Amino acid sequence: MNAVASAVPTSTQDATLKLKKVHIRLMKHPETCLFSGILMMGESSVDVGIPTAYTDGLNKRYGKEFIEKLSLAELGGLVLHENGHVMLKHIPRHKDLIKQNPRLANVAMDFVINDIITEISKKAPELVQLPKGALYDPKYHNWSVRQVWDDLTKRMQQEQQNKSGQQGSSGGVSGNTSGSDSVSDMQPLDEHDIETTETMSGEQSEELSKEIDEAVSQGSIIAGRFGAKIPRVIKEVLTPVIDWREELREFVSAATAGRDDLTWAKLNRRRLVDDLFMPSIESENIYEGVIANDTSGSISDALLNMVGGEIASICDTCRPERMRVLWWDTMVHGEQVFEGDFSGIAELLKPMGGGGTRVSCVSHYIMENNVEPQFLIIFTDGHVEQNIDWQLTCPVLWLLPPNHNRDFQPPMGRKIVIQN
């Protein structure tokens, strides 16, 4: 670990000293001490041949001529920008987006990072400011990279369809400090390179991820002592990643456990020959499980098939008598009932619906049709009505895709996020 490269050419010494000064300012301030561990990771250096700045997901490099023109606060913003990419693991986590469209992926990442920096600058303007031309839009406050990517992609498609330059219904970027409302004209602040993380072995990549987690954890402890508020997107880094498949299995197992009871109503016939009067085991297998799928457009077919295959595996293990699959948006449009052999559920699913979203309809449908599920699994992105009318008492598990509504709180049960 090396905060700022110590051996530097004479031509970059002044810029390097300026960079070190900013590092110290950020590490000591309550609003930015969260980044302390990340600032110390990898190598931070000043180079002549870089236009602005650069990161490969570990190391941070800054262009000499560029940072010489920045104030200390603007350089503070630039340093947080580069280290924010490292902290949020943008390069390794979004390699697929980078390969699809490097510029658009970089733009989406910049909007997420710059939102964090802007919030800090509101509290400490003398410490941190976004450099001129940096991309920022208040619309993307607390959005994830993939949420921003999806929004930008839709807007870019609309721009291509409307070559006269009109934005149509998509609107412009009200807070975009780059000076352009066109997605095609947006330029990221820095450069990203996936080569370093791409060439890492699985063990090296895992070690880097652990190192970042440890650095963020240490920084959060320091920030906590100062009472600093940790941004939501950074809190997600601190949240341990769980295996949603394992969570799903545990949920079903817990919901179906303890169904075998001893009963004296029927004596154990095998022990009667020994003149022993013993209770028999009354097996109360799962009568029915229910899977309710949101068909408002947020759940992809690929994701649904993947989860359907996992549920088929669980059903094969737990052996319910019946599995009922519901398709809903603002109402339940239909159901599929499976009994006996569940191995082909994923291939037999036939989605119905595709309108708005009102999850209360699931509760109403189950109650009105006198369905008594042993457990209920709901697929939804969480973009549902605010006042949910929920009357069910059975165990409920909510499965949400990566681009879910992070403000969603289920009326009962627990939620987990599906990670591919």
pLDDT tens digits along 210-223: 899 888 888 888 88
CB atoms within 10 A of CB 282: 13
pLDDT on residue 180: 53
Q: Is the pLDDT of residue 172 over 80?
A: no
Cβ neighbours for 408, distance < 8 A, ≥ 6 positions apart: 382, 383, 384, 400, 415
Q: Is 374 helix (H, G, I), strand (E, B) or coil?
A: coil
Sorted by sequence, the CB contacts under 8 Å of residue 104 that are 6+ apart come out as 97, 149, 152, 153, 156, 183
Q: What is the pLDDT of residue 192?
A: 83
Give counts: helices (H), strands (E), the chain.
Answer: 16, 12
d(CA 137, CA 293): 33
Whether the predicted pLDDT of 318 surpasses 70: no
Q: Is the pLDDT of residue 246 over 80?
A: no
Candidate from 161-175, 284-298, 306-320, 341-355 with smallest mean pLDDT:
161-175
Name the residue type at position 386: Q
Asked if pLDDT for residue 404 goes beyond 90, the answer is no
Q: Cα-Cα-Cα-Cα dihedral of 25, 30, 35, 40, to 10°? A: 50
Decide if 314 contacts 252 (C-beta within 8 A): yes
Residue 384 has pLDDT above 50, yes or no: yes
pLDDT of 53: 94
Least confident of 133-147, 159-173, 241-255: 159-173
Helix/strand/coil for 186? coil
Cβ(66)–Cβ(167) under 8 Å? no
Q: Could you tell me the pLDDT band of residue 174, with boundaries at 50, 70 and 90?
A: very low
Per DSSP, 266 falls in state E
Per-residue pLDDT band for 360 (boundaries 50, 70, 90) equals very high
Does residue 333 register a pLDDT over 70? yes
Give the chain's domains with CATH numbers: 10-238 (no CATH), 244-417 (3.40.50)
pLDDT at 279: 52
**Residue 186 pLDDT level (bands cut at 50, 70, 90):** very high
Q: Give mean pLDDT, residues 154-180.
A: 62
Q: What is the spatial distance between Cα 398 and Cα 417, in angstroms, rounded to a whole number?
A: 8
Three-state DSSP class for 1? coil
* Of residues 302 and 222, more confidently modeled: 222
Mean pLDDT (the chain, rounded): 81
* 14-44: pLDDT as tens digits: 999 999 999 999 999 999 999 999 999 999 9
How far apart are the C-alpha atoms of 19 and 36, rounded to whole Å?
14
Residue 319: per-residue pLDDT: 66
